[in-house]
A and B are shown apart, each in its own frame.
Chain A
């Protein structure tokens, strides 16, 4: 089967007063139809910029300086602005942490969803409303016909996020990029949305990139996991491999610092220091200053020392089991 989304060597820079910042650095991954890739990392690691770069939504002072973004085999980066616009919403769409990035506060849900339908499909208004109703149903919104009449502010945060996801689904895109869509929601609402998203992938075959800082969420939702640190994917593999047998010292440290896995009251294993500034990032492995396994050779940038299926960018990876 060919990948719904394939990203190769994606590199995005921002020019700042202090110098160039490579927010996304040689990032590669692919997502098959019906699979969910969890893109995990701490704040500032480059997750959102990766999402925006895939969507072609990087503006000045940012610039994609290299790489390919293949959606169903077509390279988005080779397309004209107009062609890219046609892909957005139809072949690939994005859901943001704040649903109001998608929703227009002064329009009824039905009107704005119908408009989104008619951007790409010339159907009449009644048919567009019907498509909107179906999409709300898919994401588990009760009484969808009534919700179409509502304005966004009349809905709860969880309901608004579902409307945003439903809007992303209107054209049955092959790929959805979801950037921390449940981070601001309560766990009971998050649980409902995760269950619906899993169904989307399983039943409709949508390929999903689920961006989050929450390891517990990806370990229970995703098929595959890619771990980002300082703009790079430092480890990727199936969710089972990465969680049960993390091979990069950073992934290991991240998993170890989650409180749920330890005897209550015990000191948590902690990663020393803090995430590096991307301006003037020293060469070599960016995790070097915090890494318990670092040696002199880590002053040169590590290549993949794992396998293709379970990759690790580290000179001294932990053992594969």
Chain B
């Protein structure tokens, strides 16, 4: 890979959930401690090259959004560092608050919640560049116009309020607002998840067009495997806060190496003719409050052996551009038969 522009190094993000007043009262009396720790992101190391789109995939609660927020500087990591072209973007874990970066822009799932309903769309787009002095005041209007056109909206829409737009159009506005900051990195968190398929296709096409025109670098967070395959160069699969596999998209879809990735692919219904046989993953996703010891996937893994319960698998690199965290790729599970019940 060419020199990475974004480096995520050993990042963890933990949240503590304090008990409510009643339980903490009981705690005081009994000397117990009911404070819970959520391991949202657990020792993640990733890098992204300039112009690359890295997909982050996983089921609900696996830590995708938390990762995106750490990379955007919204959350400080509990451990580890995030650097963009060598400079830290995230606040570091000692609490040193760096100047919040404008170089990373995030686009969220809900185009309704992310736009101020009382501001005209033109003002929404111009706000960031104005505050940060990115463009001279007299050029603002022209810039807003060209951004709107770039995302496929009419320049005249600058005077409208967000509620006058459909969901797909609002997502275009959110993209224009992010681009206005001339970011080095875009973080898209389920950016098309709330859109209907026909509108989703429009927004995906827009994203691919902008990518070609602007050589965008992006983290593309999604639970939708076919969307990720379509727009991402490389994919990282997360499970319970950890990255369990990374690979170029085409190789990953052709041959997943991690048992969870394989099981996930097997669970997704695909558009085809004829009824499918479902091979769902058994069991439920465990809580990130007390993730299973060893490999977090072992209670659901058909290939788990004794080693999986005891030892966290390392991320190994079976080939140049792939990595996977599974004992099967790293000396075996202790026995090949030991599927847990």
Q: Indicate if the CB atoms of B273 and A243 lie closer than 8 Å.
A: yes
Residue A267 at the chain B interface, CB threshold 8 Å: yes
Q: Which residues of chain B in 149-203 are interfacial with respect to chain A, using CB atoms and an 8 Å cutoff?
A: 166, 168-169, 196-202
Contacts A216-B269, A260-B270, A274-B166 known; A191 to B196 CB distance under 8 Å? Answer: no
Q: Indicate if the CB atoms of B273 and A216 lie closer than 8 Å.
A: no
Q: Which residues of chain A in 242-276 are interfacial with respect to chain B, using CB atoms and an 8 Å cutoff?
A: 243-244, 253-255, 257-262, 264-265, 267-271, 274-275
Q: How far does the alpha carbon of A159 sit from the alpha carbon of B283 in the complex, in Å?
A: 11
Q: Which interface class (under 10, 10 to 19, 20 to 34, 35 or more) fits B?
A: 35 or more
Number of interface residues of A (CB under 8 A): 46
CB nearest to B61 among chain A residues: A186
Q: Indicate if the CB atoms of A42 and B275 lie closer than 8 Å.
A: no
Q: Which residues of chain B in 28-83 are interfacial with respect to chain A, using CB atoms and an 8 Å cutoff?
A: 59-60
Residue A70 at the chain B interface, CB threshold 8 Å: no
Q: How far does the alpha carbon of A87 sit from the alpha carbon of B144 in the complex, in Å?
A: 58
Q: How far does the alpha carbon of A313 sit from the alpha carbon of B279 in the complex, in Å?
A: 36
Q: How far does the alpha carbon of A237 sit from the alpha carbon of B188 in the complex, in Å?
A: 38
Q: How far does the alpha carbon of A202 sit from the alpha carbon of B274 in the complex, in Å?
A: 15
Residue B142 at the chain A interface, CB threshold 8 Å: no
Q: How far does the alpha carbon of A190 sit from the alpha carbon of B168 in the complex, in Å?
A: 26
A266 → chain B closest CB, angstroms: 8
Q: Indicate if the CB atoms of B230 and A255 lie closer than 8 Å.
A: no
Q: Indicate if the CB atoms of A244 and B273 lie closer than 8 Å.
A: yes
B16 → chain A closest CB, angstroms: 21
Partner of A42, one of B197, B202, B209, B267: B197
Choose, from B2-10, B119-127, B221-229, B305-313, the stretch at the interface: B221-229
Q: How far does the alpha carbon of A186 sit from the alpha carbon of B229 in the complex, in Å?
A: 18
13 residue pairs A–B, Cβ–Cβ below 8 Å: A186-B60, A187-B225, A187-B268, A188-B280, A191-B268, A198-B275, A198-B278, A244-B273, A258-B271, A259-B227, A259-B229, A259-B231, A262-B230
Q: Report which B residues bind A (CB closer than 8 A).
A: 59-60, 166, 168-169, 196-202, 204-205, 208-209, 223, 225-227, 229-231, 249-250, 263-264, 266-276, 278-282, 284-285
Q: Report which A residues bind B (CB closer than 8 A).
A: 42-43, 156, 158-159, 186-192, 194-195, 198, 213-217, 219-221, 223, 239-240, 243-244, 253-255, 257-262, 264-265, 267-271, 274-275
Other than the given A215-B197, A270-B202, 19 more pairs (CB < 8 A) read A42-B199, A187-B264, A187-B267, A188-B281, A189-B284, A194-B269, A217-B269, A220-B275, A220-B276, A221-B269, A243-B273, A259-B204, A259-B227, A259-B230, A259-B231, A260-B270, A264-B250, A267-B209, A270-B198
